[in-house]
Amino acid sequence: MKWSTSLIGLFVCLTTLVDIVPVNGAENPRIIIVGAGAAGIAAASRLYQKGFRNITILEASQRLGGRIRTTPFGGGIVELGAQWCHGEQGNVVYQLASVYSGLLKSSIIADEDAVLIRSTGVRVSEAVAERLQTMAEGIIESEGRDTFDGSLGEYFTQQYWKQLATPAFKDISRDLAEQFLVYYHNYERGYTAYDTWYEVAASETDSYVEPAGNQDIAWNGRKGFSTILDIVSGNHPGTTNQSLTPVPLSKLITYGKFVSSIQWKGSSDGDVIVKAQDGTSYEADNVIVTVSLGVLKENNATMFTPALPAVNQRAINGLYFGTVNKIFVLFDAPIPEDFPNTVHLLWYKSDLAALRQSPYAWAEAVSTFFRIDNQPNILMAWMNGAEGRRAEYLRDAPIREGILHLLKIFAKNMTFGNIQGLLRSKWSSDRLFRGSYSSRSITTENLNTGARALGTPVRNAANEPVLLFAGEATNPIHYSTVHGAIDSGFREANRLINYYS
Ligand SMILES: Cc1cc2nc3c(=O)[nH]c(=O)nc-3n(C[C@H](O)[C@H](O)[C@H](O)COP(=O)(O)OP(=O)(O)OC[C@H]3O[C@@H](n4cnc5c(N)ncnc54)[C@H](O)[C@@H]3O)c2cc1C
């Protein structure tokens, strides 16, 4: 470590005088942040805003934002990754963005209940849909889960059929009950990114704490969700909060650096040696790793020297990292008026069997169609599970045909315009992500691990925190979200700020 005792004294002294500590560059601890997603930007910004100046962010791609990927399309923007701010209280995204008027608004999908449409094109009545949905949510939230020895899928199906056998549901036909079950499973997979709910223990300690308030808040403006990165780094026009010093991100970030090796017991004086795949090498006092859990799963065995401690490795192996994907379809006319804002797809068994035999078999992955905010000509299809992952490898033409096939089935009597363009995410096949977001599975439970274990800092022989971990998957209560990622970046920055003060 290059951080001398006398300088620590000076630092402490200055910290008590002013919040922002202008420390001398040469003696400043050299901090490398791997990854310029929400967690990396948050960590760098907090450190910079507290006076740390020797910060380098190594980012493998040519852009910042990671799984926040606001992309121009159809004359406006779409979000290939994070789209909605989920909740208000206790949500750092909402806290930071809601002070600027007009940035956030309730999404159109929050304004209207989702509609269930069967593969005959017939809608399930609102009252029936609501009863089934309430019953299903009740099962998911029921206390019986805690003591059930089996998977969530087994628990859910047992409870579901039990409830359907009661007089309260005697009007529900067997067909509809089966269709709803298949749909609900697909819908749950969208939230959690599991391939199947048979991979999840019923007793899974789902520690996610939902921030209270509106769960579907959309962004206004051309920068969409990326706006949060400007706000966190003090670069949003009109920033008035003095604690948000503008952070010169373009100077701090070096793009095109795929970090392939981190020697955390690197040299005799305690430096950490970070190497990128292009052969460049960096020395640091501390490294904050913010790459996705998918990247850690794929690379951790070769990325860290020595190998990570067992606690971190177990978490990398035990936590689940699944995939959801989106397809945006641009039409040359607005989506028909009578097409609801959210449509869930319910398949008759025979129709699903026919789909599986057709060239559009991949389309089974689509659970839901959404209209999107501010873009009346665009429809979004949400894809889950292994079929959705496999669809990443298809060309656009069969995807386009599959979407048209679904619309012919589920929006029978509606006339859509011609498709003008298609844009889709491929989170799993992208080596910089290898999936969409983290969750907990039976393996997580069996290995008795979790987000906290993943975020355990690695210390060197002198007990200095040389290797730290941030990113959504390290957040025990807000994993799988942007607010979770930002909180985790702040957490690790604060760890270093406390360490050096
Ligand atoms: C389809 C989809 C929909 C979502 N919807 C929402 C939503 O509506 N609301 C919400 O709150 N959240 C949503 N999320 C989740 C949210 O996007 C993520 O939780 C969050 O953005 C993760 O940020 P992060 O900084 O932890 O990781 P990342 O964004 O993955 O950042 C990691 C960065 O590291 C870089 N990197 C990877 N490997 C290396 C390497 N070896 N060397 C250097 N750099 C590397 C990557 O390029 C990336 O920029 C969604 C995600 C997806 C995929």
Distance 298 CA to ligand 1 centre (A): 16
CB 38 less than 6 A from any atom of ligand 1: yes
φ, ψ of residue 453 to 5 degrees: the values are -65, -40
* Contact in structure between 315 and 401 (CB atoms under 8 Å): no
How far out from the chain centre does Cα 106 lie?
20
pLDDT band for position 432 (50/70/90)? very high
pLDDT, one tens digit per residue, over 228-278 is 999 999 999 877 676 678 999 999 999 999 999 999 986 667 799 999 999
CB 290 less than 6 A from any atom of ligand 1: yes
Q: In the predicted model, what is the mean pLDDT of residues 379-392? A: 95
**What Rg value do the Cα atoms of the chain yield, rounded?**
24
CB 491 less than 6 A from any atom of ligand 1: no
Q: In the predicted model, what is the mean pLDDT of residues 310-327? A: 97
CB 386 less than 6 A from any atom of ligand 1: no
Going by alpha carbons, the residue nearest to atom 33 of ligand 1 is 35
CB 399 less than 6 A from any atom of ligand 1: no
Average pLDDT, the chain: 91
Which DSSP category does 309 fall into? P
Residue 293 confidence (pLDDT) above 90: yes
- Which residues share a beta bridge with 254? 58
Distance 45 CA to ligand 1 centre (A): 17
Atom nearest to 299 CA in ligand 1:
41
Residue 428 confidence (pLDDT) above 70: yes
- 195, burial (CB in 10 Å: exposed 0-12, middle 13-18, buried 19+): middle
Atom nearest to 42 CA in ligand 1:
25
Going by alpha carbons, the residue nearest to atom 48 of ligand 1 is 66
Strands 458-459 and 465-469: antiparallel
Residue 425 confidence (pLDDT) above 60: yes
* CATH number, domain 31-67+218-321+438-500, options 3.50.50.60, 3.40.50.1970, 3.40.50.620, 3.40.50.1360: 3.50.50.60
Q: Is the dihedral of CA 96, 100, 102, 103 positive or negative?
A: negative
- By three-state DSSP, how is residue 371 classified? strand
> Which residues, 6 or more positions from 237, have their beta carbon under 8 angstroms from its beta carbon?
none
Residue 18 confidence (pLDDT) above 60: no
pLDDT, one tens digit per residue, over 121-147 is 999 999 999 999 999 999 998 989 888
Atom nearest to 39 CA in ligand 1:
25
φ, ψ of residue 250 to 5 degrees: the values are -65, -25
pLDDT band for position 203 (50/70/90)? confident
pTM, 2 dp: 0.93
pLDDT band for position 11 (50/70/90)? very low
Which pLDDT value is given to residue 8?
A: 34
* Contact in structure between 256 and 62 (CB atoms under 8 Å): yes
Domain chopping of the chain, boundaries: 31-67+218-321+438-500, 126-199
Which pLDDT value is given to residue 191?
A: 82
Tell me which residue has tokens 């009545």: 125
Among candidate residues 239, 224, 249, 226, the one with its CA nearest the CA of residue 45: 249
